[in-house]
Structure 1
Amino acid sequence: MSATGTKPALRPFLPQDTATVAQIFRDAIGELTEDDYDDAQRAAWMASADDEESFAKRLAGQTTLLALRDSEPVGFISLKGNDHIDMLYVRPEVAGEGIGTFLATAIETLARGRKAKTLSVDASDTALPFFEKLGFKPQLRQSIALEGEWLANTKMAKTLEASAGRERP
C-alpha cells in the first residue's frame, strides 16, 4: 500500500470485485466494531456477505464506489437511491487514514448532483462519531435483526445545501 496521505483513486464497483469487497466488509466488521458489538452480533453481521451472489446484486443495484491505493481496493461505499448511504467500509489497516472521508465526500457530491435534499445513513455505533464529524445528525435509535441477533444503530441525516451559484425560481 502507499504511504498515508496518498490520495486514493476512485472507480465504480465491478462484478469481479465481489470477493474482495466482501472480504473488506467482513474484515472491517470483525476488527473495527469489537468495542461496540459482541462476537455473535459481529458474526451475524458478517454473514450477510456469505452469499456473494446476493451481496454482488445488492452492490450492483446501487451506486457503489471503490477507493483504491496502488490499484488495490481499500474501501467501498454504496448509495441506495439518490440519498441513502447503505454501506461504507474500509480495510482495518487503513482505518483513520481518510479513506472513509474520501468515499463519503464522493458520494455526497454525487447525491448533490442528483438533487438530493438530504443524505441519510443507518450508522453502526462504531461509525456514529465518524458520521457526526461529517455533519450528520442523529435522528433515531434502531434495532435490526440479523441471523437471530439484534444490532443497534442510529438513523442519521445531513441536509445538503443547494450548490453555490445555482439559480432559484
Structure 2
Amino acid sequence: MSAPPSLRPYLPADLPLLYEIRLSAIEELTAEDYDDAQRRAWVEAASDEEELGDKLKRGLSLVALRDGAAVGFVVFADGLVDQLYVHPSVARAGVGDALVDAVEKLAGARGLKAVEVDASDTAKPLFDRRGYVAQRRNTVQIDDVWLGNTRMKKVLAP
C-alpha cells in the first residue's frame, strides 16, 4: 500500500477537478453494485457542478492529494458524510480511509458523538471496515430509476 495522501481544505479552484473525480468515480467504480441505468441516472443527478460547489462551500470539505494532484474529496456537514469520492486510479489505495479518518477526528474534536453516512453499495465495505453499523436501507429515486444505499453510523470514542 502506498503512503497516505496529504489532505488540505477545499479551495474554490478545485471545483472543476473534484466535479470530474465525482463523475469518474460513479461511472467507473460502481459497475459491480449498480446497473447501467442506475449509474446513468446517478451521473445525471451528479452533473450539476454548481450544486457540488455549493455543497463543498457549506460543509467541512477536504481534498486528498497525491503528488500535488487532487485524487479525492469528502464533504462533512451536520454530522453526515455527505460526499466521498475517490478517483478510480487510486481506488482502494487508502485515499477514502484517509479522508474518513480525518472527518472522524475533526468530528470528535468538535464534540460530536457520532458520524453518519448514506453509503452507496460500493462504499459500504469501506465504512463496514471502519466500524460503522448499518441503521437502515434507503432507496433514492432519480426519475424512474431506484438506487439503494445504507444509512450507517459510527459512535466516536469519547
Q: Among residues 63, 66, 69, which one is paired with 2:63 in the alignment? A: 66
Identity %: 44
User: What CA distance in whole angstroms lies between the structure 2 residues aligned with 1:146 and 1:33?
Assistant: 16
Contact 1:122 1:154 in 2 (8 A): yes
Q: Among residues 9, 14, 19, which one is paired with 1:17 in the alignment? A: 14
Larger Rg: 1
Contact 2:55 2:75 in 1 (8 A): no
Which range is displaced more, 64-73 or 139-148?
139-148
Aligned letter for 2:141? Answer: A
Q: Among residues 125, 128, 145, which one is paired with 1:129 in the alignment? A: 125
User: What CA distance in whole angstroms lies between the structure 2 residues aligned with 1:7 and 1:38?
Assistant: 31
What count of residue pairs does the alignment treat as equivalent? 158
Counterpart check, 1:39 vs 2:32: no
For residues 67-89 of structure 1, what are the alpha-carbon distances to aligned partners after superposition, in whole Å with 9 as ceiling and x for unaligned?
001110011011012x1101111
Question: What residue is the counterpart of 1:29 in the other structure?
Answer: 26
Q: Among residues 40, 47, 50, which one is paired with 1:53 in the alignment? A: 50
Question: What residue is the counterpart of 1:156 in the other structure?
Answer: 152
Aligned letter for 2:94? Answer: G
The 5 A counterparts of 1:76-115 are: 76-81=73-78, 83-115=79-111
For residues 107-147 of structure 1, what are the alpha-carbon distances to aligned partners after superposition, in whole Å with 9 as ceiling and x for unaligned?
00010011111110001111111100000000100101124
Q: Among residues 72, 76, 84, which one is paired with 1:75 in the alignment? A: 72
Aligned letter for 2:73? Answer: F
Gaps of 5+ in 2: none
User: What CA distance in whole angstroms lies between the structure 2 residues aligned with 1:73 and 1:148?
Assistant: 34
Aligned letter for 1:121? Answer: V
Aligned letter for 2:17? Answer: T
Give me the TM-score of the superposition, normalised by structure 2.
0.95
Contact 1:48 1:55 in 2 (8 A): no
Which range is displaced more, 68-77 or 143-152?
143-152
Give me the TM-score of the superposition, normalised by structure 1.
0.89
Secondary structure, aligned partner of 1:130: helix
Contact 2:25 2:86 in 1 (8 A): yes
User: What CA distance in whole angstroms lies between the structure 2 residues aligned with 1:93 and 1:153?
Assistant: 23
User: What CA distance in whole angstroms lies between the structure 2 residues aligned with 1:50 and 1:28?
Assistant: 13
Question: What residue is the counterpart of 1:143 in the other structure?
Answer: 139
Gaps of 5+ in 1: 163-169
